[in-house]
Structure 1
């Protein structure tokens, strides 16, 4: 089931799950089905996966234009709070954030078009995060914004003093100083 969000181009996908005494099966991505439901036909060129412990915050990251990436993200193990911030200046949701919990239990996926900063906070003891990208990683375009900018006002589901950041993420600019 595809659910359109209030953010143009952002979709939540809940796959149809088949379960029995042996376990479960679901189709995690079908390009024809995706296009039929969203009107989009991304060409994914790179898959990424990370493993992180509780409290790790990865993000909020993006690649500067013209190297932006659309992403289809999901959690394979554990649970995360997944957050995006709209950086598209011509968008009605510019500067606003969207948050959703993704987990191995709910199996939800989030499609994030180009023009968004993206990050996630690990809520479970451990999480494995997987994402498909429609553009290759470009180191010279890699940047982000500080995860707890008061102007954006993201409501994180963990005490800020328990969040673990990389040195890079500790020094990211605030929203007003971001160049997309």
Structure 2
């Protein structure tokens, strides 16, 4: 997702009834033709089998209502293999708070990177933040959640005034023909 000409990211969540429908929906989303300006579509399968998420990477301003603008992209292990992508949204009282929180999170990650974290991408849309992280495995993400570093930087991130945790999902990247 380190595209130098990236103008915006559009996130969509498609609810499904079961893993079979999830595979069908993912295949349809992955196989569609891309219009001009849409550089790529990353199709993600929720590990619970209840949703398909897409991240559309646009090189021209997309027409969607909610377009996240890339703010921080941190790579901790460029050669690591990701078995889990976590997609989470957060909201804040103001646009400034959203931007400030992403800066604090990037600072905390640089000073105390999480074991098993391969990459972290933070994007903003007004008072909202899109947080996408690639992990070696779901267990690595769970271990981090259960043992967040006890540092001043992480305390500022966790206790930021007005922080509201939105929906999140542990996913894996859809790869055609896997099943």
TM-score (norm. length: structure 2): 0.31
Q: Indicate the structure with greater helix content.
A: 2
